[in-house]
Every structure is written in C-alpha cells, then in structure tokens.
Amino acid sequence: MQKEWTENDLKEIASQLGNPNGQGGVKTGEMMNLSNNGMIATTIALLDIQDGQRILEIGPGNGKHVSTIFNSCEQLTYTGLDISETMVNEATQFNSSRVMEGKVTFVLSNGRLIPFMANSFDRIFTVNTIYFWNDPAGYAAEIYRVMKPGALFNLALADKSFMEKLPFTRYGFRLYGKPDVVTLLKNAGFEIEDVIEQLDITIGNMGQPVERDIIILKCRKN
C-alpha cells in the first residue's frame, strides 16, 4: 500500500532537503546522493577540470561523490561549502583521507556570504541548491565575486515544470524555469556559454522512480 503523506511529513521532507539535520539529515544525505548522482556526474564532466585548479562546490551534501572529481586530475584542491553542520561532518568523514592530505576541505556556511577572498576559484558548481537561496541575486553575486577571471560556474537544477508537481516544494522552495535562472545569472554578470536541457531518470525524494527535466547552465566570468 502506498504511504499517505501528511502535511507534517511534507514539511519535514522539505526542511531536511533544505538543511539536513540529525539522523533524519543523515538519511536525507544518502537519498540526495543517490537521486542526484546522474546530475552531479554530468555537471562535473562539463566543468573541464584541469590539474592545479581550485574547485568549490556549493551544497555537497554527504560528499560521497567527491572522489570522482579526482579521477582524472589528482592535483586539485576542493572545497565543499554547506549550510548543514550534519552534512559537513558526514562529508568530512567520507573523505577523511583527502582531508588529511589537505586536498579536500568542508566548510560550514551561513547561506548568504561565501567566506573566501575575491578571485579565489577556477571552477565552481552546485546541484539542486538554488531552490533554497534566501537572496538569489545576492548569492549569485557572491559566487561571481569568488571566481577568478575566466573561471567556469556550472549550475544544475530541475525545471519548475517538474518541481511544482512535487507536493513538498510548496514549503520553502523557490522554483525556476530556464528564463528565470538565465536572467538571474546574467544580472549577476555571468556570460551564459551553454544551457543543457536533459531528461534525468532517478529516484524521487519519496522513494518513487521519477523522470525529471533538468537544466545545467555553463557560465563564465569574463
């Protein structure tokens, strides 16, 4: 029998997706890693990462995918920035060997400011976090600020047409179609190099198989 989700259930799902916390957050991190695996892999592949670069990921969750970033280039430094203390702790544990080597760091964020100097990173990416940016224009400007000139930023999200069908997204989510996110990033100063639209087949946030329309934007700081 299919589970009937109460309003409180849906609010809890939305809350944990926005900021995973405690044991429920640990389970949410596992689920997000599974459901976003394809989007993450595609977003990373489109970054064209090279040895010697500094990489920033916004919202790495439990960070189980981080090792794949080093598959083709080992001489990197990676920083994961997350608003969830639970996820920072989980990601640090899962990547402990590279953390000890000084190649990987996870940093707790307030979700408004990016705590790094201007012109710091060669590559930045984020997958399915934009729904939770409290000040989208301000945060896009922060991402632009910490990028080096010529750096690349990849942003991946599920399209509004899909997201608005999910019952929990009415609690604390800000949804975007392609025109909305293109306008947001252009206003922050980004040059949009490409917009990739794909059908992603995954496991939904409530355990069901799902086909979803996703968007990946390749953006440059000139």
Minimal CA–CA distance to 218: which of 36, 71, 42?
A: 42
Q: Domain for residue 50, yes or no?
A: yes
**CATH number of the domain encompassing residue 84:** 3.40.50.150
| Overall number of domains in the chain | 1
Question: Is the distance from CB of 35 to CB of 64 less than 8 angstroms?
Answer: no
The predicted pLDDT at position 204 comes to 65
Is the pLDDT at 207 greater than 70? The verdict is no
Q: Domain for residue 2, yes or no?
A: no
Cα–Cα distance, 102 to 108 (Å, whole number): 17
Q: Domain for residue 38, yes or no?
A: yes
pTM of the shown model: 0.94
Q: Domain for residue 136, yes or no?
A: yes
List the beta bridge partners of residue 125. Answer: 57, 154
Q: How confident is the model at residue 3 (pLDDT cuts 50, 70, 90)?
A: low
Q: Domain for residue 1, yes or no?
A: no
- Give the pairing of strands 54-58 and 121-127: parallel
Cα–Cα distance, 73 to 51 (Å, whole number): 5
Q: Domain for residue 175, yes or no?
A: yes
Mean pLDDT, range 19-34, rounded to an integer: 94
Task: Provide the residue count of the chain.
Answer: 222
Q: How many CB atoms lie within 10 A of CB 152?
A: 21
Label each residue of 99-131 as H, E or C: HHHCCEEEEECCCCCCCCCCCCEEEEEEECCHH
- Give the pairing of strands 54-58 and 77-82: parallel
The predicted pLDDT at position 72 comes to 81
Q: Domain for residue 41, yes or no?
A: yes
SS3 (DSSP) at 186: helix
Residues spanned by the domain of 125? 7-63+72-220
Minimal CA–CA distance to 218: which of 113, 119, 123, 136?
A: 123
Cα–Cα distance, 52 to 56 (Å, whole number): 13
The predicted pLDDT at position 1 comes to 40
Q: How confident is the model at residue 202 (pLDDT cuts 50, 70, 90)?
A: confident
Q: How confident is the model at residue 90 (pLDDT cuts 50, 70, 90)?
A: very high
Q: How many CB atoms lie within 10 A of CB 209?
A: 8
Question: Is the distance from CB of 191 to CB of 34 less than 8 angstroms?
Answer: no
The predicted pLDDT at position 124 comes to 98
Cα–Cα distance, 198 to 185 (Å, whole number): 20
